[in-house]
Structure 1
Amino acid sequence: MNPQMLTLLRESRGYSGAQLAKLAGIPQPTLSKVENGLAVIDEARLQQLAEALDYPVEAFNWTDPIYGFGSVAFYHRKQQALPQTTLRKIQAQVNLTRMRLDKLLRSIEIDTQYVVPCLEVEQYGTPAAVARAVRALWRMPMGPIRDMAAALELAGIIVVRSNLESTRIAAISLDNVGIYPALMILNTGLPSDRERFTLAHELGHLVMHSALVDTDEAEREADAFAAEFLMPAAEIRTELKGITLARAAQLKVVWRVAISALIRRAYDLGVIENTRYKSLMVSMSQKGWRKSEPIEVTRDHPTVVSSLIKVHLTDHNYTFDELAQVVALNRDEFAARFDMEFFHPDQPRSPHLRALNKERHNNQPSVPSSAEWGRGCYGEVVRP
């Protein structure tokens, strides 16, 4: 058993050492020594821990590296307002998500059409200029981005949705985490327009922030990047002239961004004055639109993870239960975490996934070194 995995699995359930010891019927001093590698646990007690945590015994033997976010690399200003137990739970769940994806990718390659560049704001002048450079590099057509998640997946970025335990956090991104360029984890429950802006915001972090920067400045730069990436100034400026709430609602359908984002874009581009901007935002508050906007735009649908499941079930002939065992989850949690309720075996496979062969692959996945881990972790805060 890997003592570090015991700690990670415990934290992923939000338990303290004392709570787990009580649930598993194991003396707390014994559990503490086991987690610190000072004692060996017998099979009977390991089974008790597995049942208390609701994980298969196999999960305790994983040897994948476990990474911390770091207080300076984890980009969300309000993390200190979250309890340490919550932060540890988030960190554990993110690590487990990465580990599961690594195992699902053992025998599958992701063909990428784009690369995720590392561009310094100082070199390009502004975050908006960086956004234009990325759109050009990715040969994106003019106009609204049809599917933000699909664009990221073409660059090898894996996008998943998961409960991040706090409405303060919209997403967490990890770059250089393995054989794929980055992992973006969206918090569940976000409006579809908010998801798209969040994905663009996270892309901004990945592209621009290879070096340590001030947290607040990094957030402003990522917001500016996202605004230009989703709403290029040269294309949207004329459409924002004389903007009203009704007009913003019409543009929301076209550009697939929030009404509030369109109004803010009009202000940032100098199309409306500060007084008009404030007036429109007050009107939104009076209508209750700051909490829940009208018109739900079509939600982007990441396809890589569902396609991974499809490849294993069809090409590699895994059963549902066998695949759940591979990622060390019980059947119900596997179905919930991988959205199996919406999975259909006949759905099209992501075109940029390729099975290496149709045989079972039991080799351990390639494990990134700490150097390969790269630039770190970025989180995006939902602002009140």
Structure 2
Amino acid sequence: MTRAFFPSSLEIARLRRKLTSAELSKRSGVSTRELRRIFAGEVEPSPESVEAIARALDYPVGFFYSGDLAMPAAATFRALGSMTKMEAGAGKASAALGARLSDWLEREFDVPEPSVPDLTGTEPEQAAQMLREMWGLGERPIGNLVRLLEAKGVRVFSLSEETLRLDAFATWLGARPFVFLNGVKSAERSRFDAAHELGHLCLHRDDQQGKQVEDEANRFAAAFLLPQGDVIARRVFPTLPNLIASKSRWGVALSALVHRYQDLGLLNADRAKWLYIEMSRKGYLKNEPRPMARETSAIWTQVLQSLWTERRNVRALSDSLALPADEVESLIFVSWDARQSETSIQRISGRANLKVIGE
């Protein structure tokens, strides 16, 4: 039985490797004319052409025959204005790969169903408070935000791109919410990015873009991570040492705490300006003082530990899904220590039940 070649998979692989069609033609030796016809679905490529293309892209041959993959129609990129078209395409293509990993995860494990409400049209601060109430958080600080999102059914993945222009984005694929975070930024800023993208998932389901939309997501994130009542109850006199000592309670960057203090009227514009000047002078805007540990995934930590009990690793998983190992490793939001751990977890016959702790 002849396998069907999927042009959509070829486009996704090309975008992930950030190659133009002309560059792919040069690397693979397949003519640009033939590539155009393959992309358009007008011809079924020969096995020799597919093997040449796969070598050029460093993708398994099986990837191009393993099913139709769809990229999201829209994604809420944080730095869309400064991104290149190629970077945006690579980001959307990563969402398609994340969806394939999620499909496998949902077949093999019992994972939480999405519980992200549609709060379109709600003021960002009010939306953040409403979501806290819906999720039973009250006014208390949020511990591990990645794990909280996972517990509420958000599929959280990381990005391998080492550029701040592609730092985070969110999208819906069907009824599943996805958040992609770039590990280049500090743990505190990545955490704020996660809350920012959660704001998009709740507030902007009509695929809005622009400065106002980004401002609304920032306001949501600040109110969600730094609830008004708790910040006011724990306020300190706004000196840099005092703020540095207190910021770890909420797991935010020093600059985010200063901004929230100003929003809540706990310091005036002149004092805020002086604090920003001092932060810049001391290098705190680039290097976070008293940095927190980077958050990791509860789901993927448990999945990889489960694989280890079967003497399988990320490469074995990649092979079974016809995905490049480097793509899978970069998407899984978990530390290398956890990836290589041989720690056993309790095995459950049939589908494994992942217990995700969200706080």
- The alignment's TM-score, normalised by the length of structure 1, stands at 0.81
Report the counterpart of residue 27 of structure 1 in structure 2.
31
Picking from 143, 147, 154, the partner of 1:146 is 143
Report the counterpart of residue 282 of structure 1 in structure 2.
277
Q: Distance in 2 between matches of 1:234 and 1:272?
A: 16
1:210 matched to 2:205: yes
Paired residue type of 2:205: S
Q: Distance in 2 between matches of 1:15 and 1:310?
A: 35
Report the counterpart of residue 300 of structure 1 in structure 2.
295
Q: Distance in 2 between matches of 1:156 and 1:354?
A: 21
Picking from 327, 343, 346, the partner of 2:343 is 346
**Aligned pair in 2 of structure 1 residues 223, 333: CA closer, same or farther (>3 Å)?**
closer
Q: Distance in 1 between matches of 2:212 and 2:183?
A: 26
1:115-171 CA distances to partner (integer Å, 9 max, x unpaired)? Answer: 21112344xxx3212111111111115422111111111101122221245312321
1:219 positional shift: 1.5
**Aligned pair in 2 of structure 1 residues 302, 287: CA closer, same or farther (>3 Å)?**
same
1:252-292 CA distances to partner (integer Å, 9 max, x unpaired)? Answer: 12221111111111100011111111111111111111111
**Aligned pair in 2 of structure 1 residues 307, 117: CA closer, same or farther (>3 Å)?**
same
- Asked if 2 retains the 8 angstrom alpha-carbon contact of 1:311 and 1:355, the reply is no
1:96 positional shift: 1.8
Report the counterpart of residue 118 of structure 1 in structure 2.
118
Structure 2 counterpart SS, 1:190:
coil
Structure 2 counterpart SS, 1:161:
strand
- Asked if 1 retains the 8 angstrom alpha-carbon contact of 2:12 and 2:93, the reply is yes
1:79 positional shift: 2.2
Picking from 73, 76, 92, the partner of 1:74 is 76
Report the counterpart of residue 86 of structure 1 in structure 2.
87
Q: Distance in 2 between matches of 1:168 and 1:274?
A: 29
Report the counterpart of residue 163 of structure 2 in structure 1.
166
Paired residue type of 2:144: D
Note the 1:173-184 alignment, pairs <5 A: 173-177=170-174, 181-184=176-179
1:87 positional shift: 2.1
1:150-198 CA distances to partner (integer Å, 9 max, x unpaired)? Answer: 11111011222212453123211122446xx322110121211112211
Paired residue type of 2:145: M
1:59 matched to 2:56: no
* Corresponding residue pairs, total: 345
Paired residue type of 1:115: S
1:330-371 CA distances to partner (integer Å, 9 max, x unpaired)? Answer: 45654555468422131658xxx987548xxxxxxxxxxxxx
Note the 1:360-375 alignment, pairs <5 A: none
- Asked if 1 retains the 8 angstrom alpha-carbon contact of 2:305 and 2:345, the reply is no
Larger mean CA deviation between 250-259 and 231-240 belongs to 231-240
Q: Distance in 2 between matches of 1:133 and 1:155?
A: 15
Superposition RMSD on alpha carbons, in Å? 2.6
Report the counterpart of residue 103 of structure 2 in structure 1.
102
1:47 matched to 2:51: yes
- Asked if 2 retains the 8 angstrom alpha-carbon contact of 1:108 and 1:354, the reply is no
Q: Distance in 2 between matches of 1:27 and 1:38?
A: 15
**Aligned pair in 2 of structure 1 residues 274, 303: CA closer, same or farther (>3 Å)?**
same
**Structure 2: which 5+ residue stretches go unaligned?**
353-359
Structure 1 counterpart SS, 2:194:
helix
1:257 matched to 2:261: no
1:101 positional shift: 2.6
Residue identity (%): 27
Picking from 192, 196, 208, the partner of 1:201 is 196
**Aligned pair in 2 of structure 1 residues 215, 13: CA closer, same or farther (>3 Å)?**
same
Paired residue type of 1:48: A
Report the counterpart of residue 379 of structure 1 in structure 2.
none
Q: Distance in 1 between matches of 2:140 and 2:66?
A: 46
Q: Distance in 2 between matches of 1:129 and 1:320?
A: 41
- Asked if 1 retains the 8 angstrom alpha-carbon contact of 2:261 and 2:267, the reply is yes
Report the counterpart of residue 153 of structure 2 in structure 1.
156
